[in-house]
Structure 1
């Protein structure tokens, strides 16, 4: 019998149980887990990467290190350690422990018979082989936890910190990507060289007439206007928008009466600004006037005025601005599914999006790791799908993922119906459209498991018809698959069962009702559609009989495409000659489009691989189809984006190598982020993005290894719908981490979404671009433009962000030898130096000389960059 049964039967006393088992709470206080990488080139170091089935034969050799910090020995049995890994753990070479994979990134480490325990103060090192490599501290997730029968799970206290590193310092050049690395480590000296390459930093007075994003035309007239407050007189704006402007003014310290600002929607504006969002702003000594094409233009003109004013008020130049947006879609996607973002954080984001004229908030509301929106009639979606706990049956919650711990110390939460409606209203008042995404048919495990709980519950109540109404799987499906993030077939909804279209329609109708209640009708629905595949059927694997030294060996015959063994899908496909399971994702997209069209939704959106094979938007029932293009430029995104746009799809550029804000700012293991498409994406790189001429980017930046690559302008010219930044949240467990990663890159995104710079070349077929080979781009003009942007951000906008409570990143300084050898990313950035890394002195130019330790500091003195040592990290 199990222990609980023995207790219930009176065959085991509580005192005997306490004697027989370790106290996991006490054990969790004393035990810690760290990861050491010995070689990221595992095969060269003797690891059997190919035989262990590593993708492309790539693996690392390292160690799991268990350290007993306590005064008593760690017992030899009756406990299990659960740990997270974003890399597939292929083997632990120890006779004392068994390693098993549960689901996603969750693994179990169980002592075997014969294990002798860990003595007080001792360390136990378990040789490890893992897929690919570990190059950044954030590759190792926190909150491993202990489990023993009859006791509450306990997180290892020494691993219970979202910001600490549990990866030991990488030895030698192990920070380099084994796939090749052509760039140096971004240490203090290299950072100084990088900042210097961007040219001189400007004074605040040099950019008094410049705003972010830059305007189409600005004509200063040499005068000045003092602004200590603003009196808004914009009756053509809706009341909620006027209230939003008043709130922003107050946030900038401009509350109360002051410079009168009048405005109206007018005709007769110049043709290039007589478009949606276009406006003309005149600032004079006695007041300001906004003439706009529409209400949105009035709002944006007001934001430009606010952009000219320093935090707390001051003098601004008198001038005339004529302006209009570059793209209709100026977006930012927030993944609230992997790790939840609090409503207050989302509101702060909306405020800043509005301030910098972004207008589409794409909310990724569901994924394998979480469902984040309350849906009337389906409470299990949030009761189960929004929580993580240690329930191996996943009846009350999802299993822990992404370092959440067994008790939602990070990751948990959801938007109630009321909170979502309030968020919609908040966004609408700021001319921002919220585009909800419910990701299907893959990345849907949270929904699948929640509906399985619903099914079991209603079956127990004797309601089989109701139980099956929203069931999302075929219970007879035995397909053997592994998803991109290591989930089995329960990651996919099954497009062949009747519960799926009913579920989609139910969710869409409930979300549409929330939008109607908010006064923001649901116009666009993003269904995701991405990565409905089995990664083990990818090009990096071969059968056990294979001879390729660069591909992992697996039993290919045991691997299936999604739904390949589903009787429901076999029956459906039997009536469609020539169709296979490979056609089901696109067929599902067509089914979703019909549901959306019936609900009156104009636009269906999807990640581009969700619409692979579609001939045109006419394949779908909605009036418009939006493609979010997320391939990289060095893998052919330029051609693919042009092809989608020229077929008539509304194509939104979301290139990971430029527009994924979950990637590190710089090539340094201490920077957080995934890096499969870019190891360094700072604000300058985002600013340098040329979306209208995608091949041009190959002359300005390298690929993910720092190597030059060529992109030809071979496709027919195309017009894109816009661009969008992405904040995926796998390694953003806290809202503070999210804001660090989002800001200040969000401002560079806004610059490119709103304004086409003069250094961006027009797209011309037949041109070819490659760094160091072609010489078509005016890099000097790019740097001059950056200098102005950086000065506005450093002298004016950083203080506004901090005043709004935004925790933007404080960059470490660049350091060279000598008193003048100090540079910051943005002018105006405060610094401190120290002789010992403990006692800090505010920096003034010429001070510090050869001080060994430096750090950046926020304007309010409350936050700091990581500490840097002169001459290296």
Structure 2
């Protein structure tokens, strides 16, 4: 099972220039479609078509041109019908070129380029992205094809699937799934989200006619400001003649709770509002619960009531994380801060910051300018080593805000301080030894520059053994992306980078206690034919590549310890390498007592229990299972749903249903489960709205599962009792999201383009019934098959109209979700 990582990002590149002539608009129109899925033996395949139309009187010549584009993986290269050929350039960059005998394309005519994918194409992430044309006569001039359309599959030949696999989700199926929850009245909604440890309701209410008077103890500067800003928004005017209710914030001892994020919240008509936390973080979490108790924002509101209650709360897991990938495509600093705001609102506390990968290095490192001048820039070039090639649709221009960009030292320090104020730890990730092409190519460029200048230290940070003849290919289709373990300069590079990042954290006043060093997907074959690696193996008496792998991570661990850190990484960091691809993982005992934290994504067949075996062996574990917590996975197999599917499909309910603990865990192993993390490798993300869509509202289910106590339904021994308890809990969850959590997000921010699922629809008794996974969102419909708008009729009950009934849900800003249609005859 392949783990296919990608990403998305943005930043203005004021220091970069791109000649105007180097990215011209080409008078071509391009369309892409699936022709058919072929269920053949021994392996199914998909036939696809690129259609190119020459416009504006400009013909496409018989020879001397190449059509470039990105695609994820799986294209079959070689000769094509029509005297054309498909070639792989690098990674996911491909090109179509004319072969001998191609006659050219006259203006106004269309050329069909038919080609195959190995395996079935189910999700549209493998459609060509970022297409451009280059003529051999001007190899550095890229002609952007701006008129490009991807056609979604609709015909049966395009949608063929093996029986029982990748089935499309119909409106009827959605209706039945949605019926698994009850619609609750507002008075029955859970009062606090995520579910607190203990909540005791009182009998009365506390009336607020003006903002409370915030009385805070020492060490709560941010929390005091947060409380004042909160009530300034909800009670902007207030009645100055009324005595303000006191809001007391203090750091104290929460009885019976050891977590620094534990808090007590009390709302009393006699004593006002008080929040006590074991630390400032606890006070901040208590303020978010108080925030959740406020009524939804109403323009001009002058007063409201709060319920009397007392809450004692603490998180189930100390680690509640979200991994944001900005390496493969870039997100600007402002998007990172927006993400941190969302995390703080829902009590998540770890930002796993995926800063480097094959397709981008996104952090300025002092003394190594090539890491950003080369490694942070993607675009077309006829020469090797000038910049990284286009990837994931970034196209030929180096000023593409998603393909190119990086955080300056000042940017990163600002992000660290912003996160720290919200009690979120930033864990930077520097991928090694694989997933490192951006670093490898940057250091090769540095070597060439310094060698040309006669600098004797040119090889100081070189990551490449130029005599390496190893044969390998990564899941992302690279064969030149691995840091060489046999070079002392590789460890000098790692030491320098780690030291620079540690220095940024010190300057920010934010401790750096661990760094994520990747460690995943080192392809078989890497290092095997490297003279440098072979020489090191002889010196160190290493018997195998598996021993060299251990040597590499032993050195990396030593570097991190020198800088006061422990090592974090993907599960491969604590697994013994094997000589067989996709073999079940076995726990490596060598590092079990080193304090390594393993982020375990691989719960694919054969590895379902690796996280628990590793915990029992002594490794600290963060659970990030692909089948439940990978938010880059599409919600379902329907073509219009964005995302990938190599690890399955992840519905909102899929995340909610995740049960982190296993009966396989020993008592010591249970203590090694640090928490859970949602991961978003943004392979299909090129805009902030796409990031929002994949992240939300599934991140809310992550927050519930990470903070809330183990639910009753997960512990019930009786199946019927468990089903009843689970239905009640799920009903509370979806209703509080649809009626309060997401509406508050709309009304307070209005800039989070979360997924609004299509409604469910069935025909019963000659009428159309409509429901939604999130009760509380407004449903609207039309009777002529057109997409509903904010002015369409609301769904208030069964729809008796005949014809094609279209329905969609709308948020509080009037934004529509996906449309569902059904015919009522």
Instruction: Mark the CA change 1:459 to 1:633 in structure 2 (over 3 Å): closer, same or farther.
Output: closer
Q: 1:586 aligns with which of 547, 550, 553?
A: 550
How far has the Cα of 1:157 moved from its partner? 1.0
- In the superposition, relative to structure 1, how do residues 762 and 204 fare at CA in structure 2: closer, same or farther (>3 Å)? closer
Are positions 1:361 and 2:351 aligned together?
yes
489, 503, 507: which is aligned to 2:497? 507
Determine which of 572, 575, 593 is the counterpart of 1:609.
Answer: 572
Alpha-carbon separation, structure 2, partners of 1:255 and 1:591:
61
Structure 1's 354 and 472: CA in aligned 2 closer, same or farther, altered over 3 A?
Answer: same
In 2: Cα distance, 1:373 partner to 1:249 partner: 37
The one-character-per-residue Cα deviations of 1:417-463 (angstroms, maximum 9, x if unpaired) are 11110111011011110000000000000011111111111111110
Which residue of 204, 218, 225 maps to 2:199?
A: 218
Q: Per-residue deviation at 1:612?
A: 0.9
Match of 2:403 among 411, 415, 425: 411
Conserved 8 A contact 1:628-1:653: yes
1:393-417 deviations in Å (ceiling 9; x for gaps):
3433100011110115333211111
Between the aligned partners of 2:92 and 2:420, the Cα distance in structure 1 is 38
Match of 2:37 among 25, 28, 39: 39
Structure 2 counterpart of 1:29 = 27
Q: Is the 8 A contact 2:264 2:310 kept in 1?
A: yes
5 Å matches for 1:318-357? 318-357=308-347
> Does 2:630 correspond to 1:630?
no
Deviation at 1:24, TM superposition (A): 9.1
1:291 and 2:283 matched = no
Correspondence for 1:112: 99
Q: Offset of 1:508 from its aligned partner?
A: 0.7
User: Which residue is 1:278 aligned to?
Assistant: 262
Counterpart-to-counterpart distance in 1, 2:359 and 2:186: 45
Query: Which stretch shows the higher mean deviation, 569-578 or 103-112?
Result: 569-578
Partners in 1 of 2:216 and 2:556 — Cα distance?
42
- The alpha-carbon distance between structure 1 residues 100 and 633, as it changes in their structure 2 partners (threshold 3 A), is closer
CA distance in 2 between partners of 1:254 and 1:526 (Å): 44
Runs of 4+ in 1 over 4 A off after TM superposition: 22-26, 69-72, 244-259, 614-623, 712-717, 774-777
- Cα deviation, residue 687, structure 1: 1.1
Which is worse superposed, 830-839 or 521-530? 830-839
Q: 1:765-776 residue pairs with structure 2 within 5 A?
A: 775=719
Aligned to 1:597, which of 544, 556, 561? 561
Find the aligned partners of 2:503 and 2:276 in 1 and give their Cα distance. 35
3-state secondary structure, aligned to 1:827: coil
Q: Give the Cα–Cα distance (whole angstroms) in 2 for the partners of residues 348 and 446 of structure 1.
A: 27
Deviates more, 1:246-255 or 1:361-370: 246-255
| Structure 2 counterpart SS, 1:77 | coil
| Structure 2: distance between partners of 1:810 and 1:635 | 35
Structure 1 residue 255 displacement after superposition: 8.8
Aligned to 1:822: 770
Q: Which structure 2 residues correspond to residues 552-591 of structure 1 after superposition, within 5 A? A: 561-577=525-541, 579-591=543-555
- The range that moved more, 313-322 or 644-653, is 313-322
Aligned counterpart for 1:242 among listed residues 224, 241, 249: 224
Partner of 2:113: 126
In 2, distance between residues paired with 1:234 and 1:619? Answer: 49
SS at the partner of 1:130?
A: strand
Deviation at 1:249, TM superposition (A): 5.3
Alpha-carbon distance, 1:241 to partner: 4.0
Query: Whole-Å Cα distance in 1 between the matches of residues 287 and 251 of structure 2?
Result: 13
Correspondence 1:452-491 to 2 at 5 A = 452-465=444-457, 467-488=458-479, 490-491=480-481
C-alpha distance in 2 between matches for 1:420 and 1:288:
37
Write the mapping of 1:225-236 to structure 2, written as runs, cut at 5 A. 225-227=206-208, 229-236=211-218
Shift of 1:620: 4.9
Q: State the partner residue of 1:753.
A: 706
How many positions carry a matched residue from both structures? 770
What is the TM-score normalised by the length of structure 2? 0.88
Is 1:833 the equivalent of 2:781?
yes
Q: Deviations over 1:533-586 (max 9, x none)?
A: 14xxxxxxxxxxxxxxxxxxxxxxxxxx10111100110111243522233223
- Tell me which residue corresponds to 1:203: 185
Answering whether residue 370 of structure 2 is matched by residue 380 of structure 1, we say yes
> Could you tell me how far 1:293 is from its partner in structure 2?
2.2
In the alignment, does 2:169 pair up with 1:169? no
Whether the aligned pair in 1 keeps the contact of 2:347 and 2:707 (CA below 8 Å) is: yes
Secondary structure at 1:83 match in 2? strand
How far residue 185 of structure 1 moved from its aligned partner, in angstroms, is 1.6
Q: Equivalent residue of 1:795, what SS?
A: helix
The question of whether the paired residues in 2 share the 8 Å contact of 1:144 and 1:155 is answered with: yes
Quote how far apart the aligned CAs of 1:248 are: 5.3
Which residues in structure 2 correspond to 1:680-719 (within 5 Å)? 681-693=650-662, 718-719=670-671
Q: Which moved more, 1:623-632 or 1:381-390?
A: 623-632
Task: Please give the per-residue CA displacement for 1:454-474, whole angstroms capped at 9, x wherever unaligned.
Answer: 111111111032x11111111
Residue 783 of structure 1 aligns to a residue whose secondary structure is helix
For the Cα contact (< 8 Å) 2:656–2:704, is it kept in 1?
A: yes
SS of the equivalent of 1:423 reads helix
Change (3 A) 1:789 1:110: same
1:537 corresponds in structure 2 to none
Please name the residue that 2:12 is paired with.
none
Provide the secondary structure at the position in 2 that maps to 1:281.
strand
- Kindly indicate whether residue 34 of structure 2 is the aligned counterpart of residue 65 of structure 1: no
- Aligned partners of 1:363 and 1:303: how far apart in 2? 24
In 1, the alpha carbon distance for the partners of 2:515 and 2:723 equals 39
* TM, length-normalised to structure 1: 0.83
Match of 1:770 in 2: none
* Partner in structure 1 of residue 734 of structure 2: 790
User: Where does structure 1 lack aligned partners over 5 or more consecutive residues?
Assistant: 1-21, 45-49, 51-56, 160-164, 535-560, 696-711, 768-773
Distance 1:205 1:141, change over 3 A: farther
Distance 1:621 1:461 in 2: 46
> What does residue 845 of structure 1 align with?
796
Q: How many Å separate the matches in 1 of 2:186 and 2:119?
A: 46
Choose the corresponding residue for 2:87, options 83, 100, 103.
100
Q: Conserved in 2, the CA contact under 8 Å of 1:210 and 1:788?
A: no
1:866 positional shift: 2.5
**More moved, 81-90 vs 136-145:** 136-145
| Equivalent residue number for residue 132 of structure 2 | 145
The whole-number CA distance in structure 1 between the counterparts of 2:382 and 2:421 is: 44
Q: CA RMSD in A?
A: 2.9
Q: Give secondary structure in 2 for the equivalent of 1:491.
A: coil
Selected match of 1:810 from 756, 776, 789: 756
Structure 1 match to 2:581 = none
Residue equivalent to 2:433: 441
* Structure 1 pair 247–871 and aligned structure 2 pair: CA distance change class (3 A): farther
Q: 1:581 to 1:686 in 2, by over 3 A?
A: same
Distance in structure 1 (CA, Å) of the matches to 2:246 and 2:786: 50
In structure 2, the gaps of 5 or more residues are 1-20, 299-303, 578-585
Q: Deviations over 1:819-850 (max 9, x none)?
A: 66111121211233233426731414137544
Using the TM superposition, give the Cα deviation of residue 790 of structure 1 relative to its aligned residue in structure 2, in angstroms: 1.3
Q: Return closer, same or farther for 1:777/1:395 CA change in 2, 3 Å cut-off.
A: farther
Once residues 547 and 68 of structure 2 are traced to their aligned partners in structure 1, the CA distance between those partners, rounded to angstroms, is: 38
Equivalent residues of 1:105, 1:485 under 8 A apart: yes
Deviation at 1:628, TM superposition (A): 0.2
Secondary structure of 2:130's counterpart equals: coil
